[in-house]
A and B are shown apart, each in its own frame.
Chain A
Amino acid sequence: MSSPTTTPRRRHVLDLDDWSADELRSLLTIAAQMKDILARPVKQVPTLRGKIVVNMFWEDSTRTRSSFELAAKALSANVLSLGAKDTSVKKGESLVDTVRTVQALGADYIVMRHGQSGAPYLVAQHFRGSVINGGDGRHAHPSQALLDLFTMHERLGELADKKVVIVGDILHSRVARSNLWALTTMGAKVVVCGPPTLIGPAKYWQSTWPKVEISHSLDHAAEGADVLMALRLQHERMEGGLLPSLREYSRRFGLNATRVASANSNVIVMHPGPMNEGVEIMPDVATGPHSVIETQITNGVAMRMALFYYLATGSEQV
C-alpha cells in the first residue's frame, strides 16, 4: 500500500552536499503536502506526538528558531528552546556535556545553531537521536536552502537551466553555500555576484564550483535572471575593511527596480531575512510584485515539517 522511496534513510540533516536530485525532489513533494496542513482548520497533525524536539540556538536567531518551533508543534512534538545565554553554557558547560544532558532529558531531535562551522557534526557524534543543522558558522544552513528551493520550485517549476543570481556576501554566507549545493544538484545555472572582497578568489570558484559563474556587476548578472536572491549584508564586513561604504555597496549591488526590470518578466525576488532595506534591497522591491520574501517564511515552516517527517520515518528500525 505504501510507496516507499528508493533512497536509504537519513539520520541527520547536516549539509546538502550529499543529497541527490531525487531525494531533494521527494522532499519538495512532502513539503507541498505539509503546506496544505498549514491551511487546514486544525493546523496540526499527530505525526510526532510524544516526541521531544530541542532547539539549541547558540547564536541569536528569531526567524529560524520560531520556524523550527512552529514546524515541530504542527507535528505535535514537545518543543524546548535553549539559547547560549541560558545558564549552563554561561557556567562553562561544554557542548558535548549539554548534548548528554539534553539526551538524558529524553530528546529525540536536536536542532543546532552555532557560530562555529562543524558544531552540529560534533553534536551528531554524541547524540542517539537526529540532528538538524540550523546554521553553523560559514558552513551550511540546509533548511534555509531547502525552503528557498521549495519556493523557487513552487513558482518556476523544474529548475534545470533556470538562471539564479545570488548577490551579496557570498564568501561568508552559509545560506549561499547551502543554496549552491541544492541548486547545482537540481541543474540550475547559478551566478554569484558581489564585490571581489566578498566573492573570494576566482581560483577557488574554478576548482570547487566549476559550474558556477562569478560576476562583479549586478547590472550585467540580473539580465534575464529567473531568480534574484539578495543576501543580508552584515555590518561587521564594513568594519573589517571589506567594503568602502554602504552607499557604494547599495548603488552597485542593491536590488532596485531597474535591475529587477532587466530580469525575466516572471523573475522572483528572494531574501533570507532579516533585510537591511535600502542597502542590499530597496523597500519597493522587497514588497513589490516580484517579491516572494513572505512566501519564503511560510514555506520555511512547511519545509522544516517535511524535514522532521523525513527523519521520523523508520527511526525505530534496527
Chain B
Amino acid sequence: MTPKQLMNDEEIRRALKRIAHEIVERNAGASLVSLVGIHRRGVPLARRLAAMIAETEHVQVPVGELDIGLYRDDLHSRGPAPILGRTILPELGKRVVVLVDDVLYTGRTIRAALNELSDWGRPSAIQLAVLVDRGHRELPIRADFVGKNIPTAKNERVDVQLSEIDQAQDSVVIVQED
C-alpha cells in the first residue's frame, strides 16, 4: 500500500508552534523549562521548540538529548546491536523537564526515558510533548502536549520525516504493514 500523508511541513510547523505556546502557558513562562529530545527524532523537534520559544519569550531554553537504548525492556528480543546515540543532559534539578518525542505509541519508550532521567537527577516536574499520538498504550502514560491525535490500527506504522535527519521535506505518513 502506498503511504498516506497525514501532516505536511506547514502543518508540522503549526503544530509545533502551538506546543511551544502551550509549554510556555502551562509553566508560566519558560525560565524554568528544559527540553530533552528522545533520540533520534525527538532531538531535532526539541531544538525547534527551543527556537520557537526563544522567538516569542526571548529565553534560551536548555536542550538536551536522551538515548534510551540501554533502558529498553525489549533489548533481548531485538537485534542485532542497535547503535546507541549520545545522552547529553542539562542540569535537571529544580527544572521542569519537557520530554520531546515524535510518536507516542505503547509508552514503553517514555517509561524507559523516565527511568533514565531519574538516574541523572531530580527535576521538579517532567512533562511530555509529542508530535503524534497514535494510541495503543500499554502503560499508564499520557502526553501533556500533542501535535495531532491520529487513530491507527496496530498493523499500521506512523513515519515521521524531519529535514534534519531524513534529508527530506517534513511530513508524517501512515504506512500499512503486512
B115, CB-defined interface residue at 8 Å = yes
CB distance A314 to B79 under 8 Å?
yes
Q: Chain B nearest CB: distance from A203 CB in Å?
A: 39
B92 to chain A, nearest CB (A): 10
Interface assignment of B87: CB less than 8 Å from any CB of chain A: yes
Instruction: Check B81 against A310 for contact (C-beta < 8 Å).
Output: yes
A2 to B71 alpha-carbon distance, docked (Å): 14
Contact assessment for A33 and B78 in the assembled complex, using a CB-CB cutoff below 8 Å: no
B173 to chain A, nearest CB (A): 15
B70 at the interface (CB under 8 A from A): yes
Q: For window 112-140 of chain B, which residues contact chain A by CB distance below 8 Å?
A: 115-116, 119-121
Asked whether A4 is an interface residue with its Cβ less than 8 Å from the other chain, the reply is yes
Shortest Cβ distance from A318 into B: residue: B77
CB of B81 within 8 A of CB of A313, answer yes
Q: Are A314 and B120 in contact (CB-based, < 8 A)?
A: no
Contacts of A75 in B (CB 8 A): 70
Classify the secondary structure of B's interface with A.
Answer: loop
**A8 at the B interface (CB under 8 A):** yes
Quick check: B83 and A315 within 8 Å, CB to CB? no
- A105 on the B face (CB < 8 A): no
**CB proximity of A36 to chain B, nearest CB, Å:** 7
Instruction: Return the chain A residue nearest B118 by Cβ.
Output: A42
Do B80 and A29 have beta carbons less than 8 Å apart? no
When the two chains form their complex, are residues B82 and A2 in contact, meaning their CB atoms are under 8 A apart? yes
A9, A41, A46: which contacts B121 (Cβ < 8 A)? A41
Q: Mark A22-61, 1 if CB is under 8 A from B, else 0.
A: 0000100110010011001110111100000000000000
Q: Are B81 and A26 in contact (CB under 8 A)?
A: yes
CB distance from B61 to the nearest CB of A (A): 22
**Given A1-B40, A46-B115, does the pair A313, B82 have CB atoms closer than 8 Å?**
yes
**Binary CB contact string for chain A from 1 to 16 against chain B (1 if under 8 A, 0 otherwise):** 1111101111000000
| Contact, CB under 8 Å: A41 / B120 | yes
Query: Given contacts A33-B86, A36-B87, is CB(A5)–CB(B71) below 8 Å?
Result: no
Q: Which residues of B contact A312 (CB under 8 A)?
A: 75-76
Cα–Cα, bound, A1→B83 (Å): 11
CB distance from B68 to the nearest CB of A (A): 10
Q: Are A47's CB and B77's CB within 8 A?
A: no
Q: Is the CB of A46 within 8 A of B70?
A: yes
Q: Give the residues in chain B near A9, CB-CB below 8 Å.
A: 79-81
In B19-52, the 8 Å CB interface with A consists of: 40-41
Across the interface, which residues of A come within 8 angstroms of B71, CB to CB?
A: 45-47
CB pair A30–B83 under 8 Å, yes or no, is yes
Query: CB within 8 Å of A: which of B66-108?
Result: 67, 70-71, 75-87
Q: Determine the distance from Cα of A7 to Cα of B81 in the docked complex, in whole angstroms.
A: 9
| Structural contact, A42 and B80, CB atoms closer than 8 A | no
Q: Which of B79, B81, B121 contacts A317 (CB 8 A)?
A: B79
Select B120's contact among A26, A33, A40, beta carbons within 8 Å.
A40
Complex CA–CA separation, A26 to B80 (angstroms):
11
Contacts of A10 in B (CB 8 A): 80
User: How many angstroms from the CA of A198 to the CA of B87 in the assembled complex?
Assistant: 46
* Contact in complex: B70, A317 (CB < 8 Å): no
Contact A313 to B80, CB < 8 A, known contacts A46-B71, A47-B75: yes
Residue from B77, B78, B81 within 8 A of A30 (CB atoms)? B81
Q: Is A316 on the interface with B (CB-CB < 8 A)? A: yes
Residues of A contacting B77 in the complex (Cβ-Cβ under 8 angstroms): 314, 316-317
Most B Cβ at <10 Å: residue of A1, A41, A44, A312: A1
CA distance A30 to B41 in the complex (A): 20
Q: Which residues of B contact A42 (CB under 8 A)?
A: 119-120
Residues of A within 8 A of B (CB): 1-5, 7-10, 26, 29-30, 33, 36-37, 40-42, 44-47, 75, 309-310, 312-317
Starting from the known contacts A40-B120, A47-B70, 9 additional A-B residue pairs (CB-CB under 8 Å) come to A5-B82, A10-B80, A33-B86, A41-B119, A41-B120, A41-B121, A313-B75, A313-B81, A317-B79
Query: What are the 4 closest A-B residue pairs judged by CB atoms, nearest first?
Result: A314-B79, A45-B70, A9-B80, A313-B79
Q: Which residue numbers of B lie inside 8 Å of A, CB to CB?
A: 40-41, 67, 70-71, 75-87, 115-116, 119-121
